[in-house]
């Protein structure tokens, strides 16, 4: 009895299959990529509404009433546009579908959050966290698109965009957090730590983004996306101690204006990243739909496979795991660094107190109050005053007891 053989596999058959899969994946990804602009617009308005809500709440409804109402209207318009242009469900994986469900559910919770804000029966930090959750679900939609990306350069561009959007969101949280402290006229230690974490976190995200983009985008970020000198001065005030004057509300408005100007500039860079990424994807799709002969395509792809940098290819597949591990490590690192920094600062302050006690014959309590007064007078942290004292300790004359 003759054994029936299976049809022989050949390069042409696999070429046709690979070409069709590549084309369908790129078309599906283009749908998501074009949708990314809608996400970016919506997130930007949610970020602005979040900051305006905080100033309005902290001022007891006296500041930003008009701005807050405008932001609500703009956010709703962007949310409607977002809902009207979803990616094709047929091409959506289960993770993207779940992310979409969570994002839409979070948007549906906004009216209830706004009611509490208008009634002023919600703390600013709680209101901010409500917006944070919605934005987090929206930004998380983009990485799911990487599941359909097989091209290493496209995956690299998508990773740059995602890192940038994370950095921009942390910058938005910085604006909202600072709005609370400046409007209230004081930063509690938890609020100050939250602000510092947002500043540090966005820098790490932007460093990743800068390592993945072309020189023209990097230059654009350095020119328009960095914090200005005035903004850095306000950061310093927030992270040390606010002056005891009546300018806190003016500082809050100025803080919001400077941060908004920066976030608008970051928004323009974000649009440029999305446009460049879509151009790249369309170029790949045009190549996939070209009439180039199978032999020429296979010869080129075979050579590209051997020339491709393996770590770059592996990066796409390991990216979700690496991100999760990085988040866990960063969280632990921040906790340990914060604890270590606190211990070191405490040691410096204790040494400065001992210096005051021995050289000026002060009591421990008097030494502490003198350090504190110097810090307040010079608008510096106590540890900075302590460091300055210790640096010139050898020049101090010893005050003898009578």
The two structure tokens encoding residue 120:
């002023």
Residue 225 DSSP symbol: T
Average pLDDT for 375-391? 80
3-state helix, strand, coil in the chain (%, to 5): 80, 0, 20
Is 328 a residue whose pLDDT tops 50? no
Closest CA to 397 of 360, 357, 370: 360
Closest CA to 81 of 38, 37, 137, 45: 38
Residue-wise pLDDT tens digits, 9-53: 677 777 677 777 777 767 766 776 777 888 899 999 999 999 999
The two structure tokens encoding residue 348:
């410096």
C-alpha to C-alpha distances, 386 to 42, 351, 391, nearest whole angstrom = 46, 8, 9
Distance CA 86, CA 92 (A): 10
Q: At what angle do helices 11-58 and 65-84 cross, to 10 degrees?
A: 160
Is 303 a residue whose pLDDT tops 70? no
- Per-residue pLDDT at 312: 44
Lowest average pLDDT, out of 193-197, 268-272, 389-393, goes to 389-393
Lowest average pLDDT, out of 103-107, 188-192, 319-323, goes to 319-323
Is 296 a residue whose pLDDT tops 80? no
Lowest average pLDDT, out of 58-72, 135-149, 255-269, 322-336, goes to 322-336
Tally the C-alpha atoms within 13 A of residue 257's C-alpha that lie toward its C-beta.
8
**Percent of the chain topping pLDDT 70:** 74
pLDDT-based confidence at residue 211 (cuts at 50, 70, 90): confident
| CB-based burial label for 234 (10 Å; 0-12, 13-18, 19+) | buried
Residue 57 near residue 93 (C-beta atoms within 8 A): no
- Per-residue pLDDT at 297: 66
| CB-based burial label for 195 (10 Å; 0-12, 13-18, 19+) | buried
Distance CA 31, CA 100 (A): 14
Closest CA to 172 of 209, 140, 199: 199
Q: Where are the domains of the chain?
A: 22-289+316-337, 339-394
Distance CA 176, CA 256 (A): 8
- Per-residue pLDDT at 170: 93
Higher pLDDT, 303 or 345: 345
- Per-residue pLDDT at 180: 92
- Per-residue pLDDT at 286: 80
C-alpha to C-alpha distances, 323 to 123, 135, 208, nearest whole angstrom = 32, 18, 12
Tell me the whole-structure pTM to 2 decimals: 0.69
Residue 197 near residue 132 (C-beta atoms within 8 A): no
- Per-residue pLDDT at 318: 43
Higher pLDDT, 24 or 353: 353
- Per-residue pLDDT at 394: 66
Average pLDDT for 264-290? 86
DSSP, residue by residue, 313-373: HHHHHHHHHHHHHHHHHHHHHHHHHHHHHHHHHHHHHHHHHHHHHHHH---HHHHHHHHHH
> Per this entry, what is the length of the chain?
402
Residue 178 near residue 255 (C-beta atoms within 8 A): yes
The end-to-end CA distance of the chain, in Å, is 121
Residue 47 near residue 138 (C-beta atoms within 8 A): no
Higher pLDDT, 123 or 306: 123
The two structure tokens encoding residue 158:
């998508």
Lowest average pLDDT, out of 166-170, 178-182, 386-390, 394-398, goes to 394-398
Is 277 a residue whose pLDDT tops 50? yes
Residue 262 near residue 231 (C-beta atoms within 8 A): yes
- Per-residue pLDDT at 51: 92
Residue-wise pLDDT tens digits, 365-375: 788 778 878 87
pLDDT-based confidence at residue 285 (cuts at 50, 70, 90): confident
> Does the domain made of 339-394 have the CATH classification 1.10.10.10?
yes
Higher pLDDT, 341 or 357: 357
Average pLDDT for 104-111? 92
Closest CA to 185 of 242, 144, 226: 242
pLDDT-based confidence at residue 334 (cuts at 50, 70, 90): low
The two structure tokens encoding residue 382:
């106590």
Lowest average pLDDT, out of 37-41, 62-66, 136-140, 151-155, goes to 151-155
Closest CA to 134 of 70, 39, 263: 39
- Per-residue pLDDT at 9: 65
């Amino acid at each position: 009895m003759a054994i029936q053989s299976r049809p022989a596999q050949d390069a042409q058959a696999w070429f046709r299959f690979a070409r069709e899969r590549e084309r369908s994946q790129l078309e599906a990804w283009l749908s998501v990529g074009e949708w990314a602009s809608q996400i970016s617009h919506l997130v930007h308005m949610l970020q602005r509404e979040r900051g305006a809500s905080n100033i309005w709440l902290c001022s007891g409804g006296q500041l930003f009433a008009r701005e807050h109402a405008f932001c609500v209207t703009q956010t709703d318009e962007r949310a409607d546009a977002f809902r009207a242009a979803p990616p094709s469900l047929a091409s959506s994986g289960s993770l993207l579908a779940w992310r979409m469900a969570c994002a839409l559910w979070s948007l549906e919770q906004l009216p209830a959050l706004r009611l509490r804000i208008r009634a002023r029966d919600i703390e600013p930090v709680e209101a901010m966290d409500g917006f944070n959750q919605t934005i987090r679900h929206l930004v998380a939609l983009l990485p799911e698109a990487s599941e359909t990306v097989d091209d290493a350069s496209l995956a690299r561009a998508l990773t740059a965009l995602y890192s940038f959007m994370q950095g921009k969101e942390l910058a938005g949280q910085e604006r909202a957090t600072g709005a609370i402290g400046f409007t209230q006229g004081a930063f509690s230690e938890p609020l100050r730590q939250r602000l510092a974490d947002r500043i540090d976190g966005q820098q790490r995200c932007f460093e990743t983004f800068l390592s993945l983009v072309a020189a023209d985008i990097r230059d654009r970020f350095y020119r328009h996306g960095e914090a200005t000198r005035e903004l850095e001065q306000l950061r310093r005030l927030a992270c040390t101690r606010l002056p005891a004057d009546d300018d806190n509300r003016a500082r809050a408005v100025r803080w919001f204006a400077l941060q908004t100007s920066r976030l608008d500039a970051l928004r323009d860079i974000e649009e440029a990243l999305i446009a460049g990424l879509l151009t790249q994807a369309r170029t790949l799709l045009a190549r996939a739909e070209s009439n180039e002969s199978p032999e020429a395509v296979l010869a080129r792809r075979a050579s590209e496979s051997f020339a491709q940098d393996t770590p770059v290819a592996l990066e796409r597949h390991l990216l979700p795991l690496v991100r999760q591990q990085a988040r866990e490590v960063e969280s632990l690192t921040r906790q340990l660094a914060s604890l270590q920094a606190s211990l070191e600062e405490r040691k410096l302050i204790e040494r400065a107190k001992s210096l005051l006690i021995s050289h000026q014959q002060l009591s421990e309590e008097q030494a502490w109050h003198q350090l504190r007064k110097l810090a307040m007078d010079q608008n510096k942290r106590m540890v900075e005053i302590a460091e300055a004292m210790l640096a010139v300790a050898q020049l101090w004359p010893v005050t003898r007891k009578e």
